[in-house]
Structure 1
């Protein structure tokens, strides 16, 4: 399969594109991350989300340590070709490194960020 479709993406100056991961059957936004050309191509090839970790400066296969992989159902590109939405099946029901379902678990109430979701699994038992 030709990878010419990668040329249609408006990459940032550092070669990245923002990616929103959304649970395919509930539309719940699970997380936000970055991909580069290699990680996006690997995501398509392998069928599971592969991101670019800016903090580690390396490819990061979601769930490589926790087992909470993201099976890709669909990949969509926005109208400006500068944001990707991947519709996923979140394996294990946990997307966040804090042990919560979603990385978006805090809500602003009366000028304060309040935790709105419980920890489903202690991160100490997820990560070694």
Structure 2
């Protein structure tokens, strides 16, 4: 039994601030109970290519998507527009294989280290972060790797 097991979920992440790598943490379900999903039951998840560090995308997960991702090691998000689970690559084939997952210090944001197959962005680009901003102008920083019409089978 961990010293964290007796804490109310709302106190867990505060207590983890002073934890060390040698501490026994609570069971995964207790930790997920303490995750600070927003009022819609969602958690922002940032996907980063595990070997290059490239930030690929940000999407949302509900608890079910997070649990499925941890269980299957294939990344699953929650689609706000479709109001259902969205298994990355189910229509495009551009899947994300989970390498690791980490919560931030507040338990309200998730970082996913993934192995991305092809482009991560629905525009056909490797990353969704292709519009560069400065104080004077914006610029497109990459070309699509695949035409989105081809990627999603549209004519």
TM-score bin (small chain): over 0.9
Q: Unpaired segments of 5 or more residues in structure 1?
A: none
**Runs of 4+ with deviation above 2 angstroms:** 1-5, 109-113
Q: TM-score, normalised by structure 1?
A: 0.94
- Pick the structure with more strand per residue: 1
Aligned pairs, number: 127
RMSD of the TM alignment (CA)?
1.3
CA distance in structure 2 between the partners assigned to 1:60 and 1:85 by the alignment: 17
Secondary structure of 2:113's counterpart equals: strand
Q: Unpaired segments of 5 or more residues in structure 2?
A: 1-26
The question of 1:37 aligning with 2:49 is answered no
Query: Which structure's relative contact order is higher, taking Cα pairs within 8 Å and 6+ residues apart?
Result: 1
Q: TM-score, normalised by structure 2?
A: 0.78
Radius of gyration: which is bigger?
Answer: 2
Match of 2:129 among 83, 104, 111: 104
Match of 2:115 among 84, 89, 92: 89
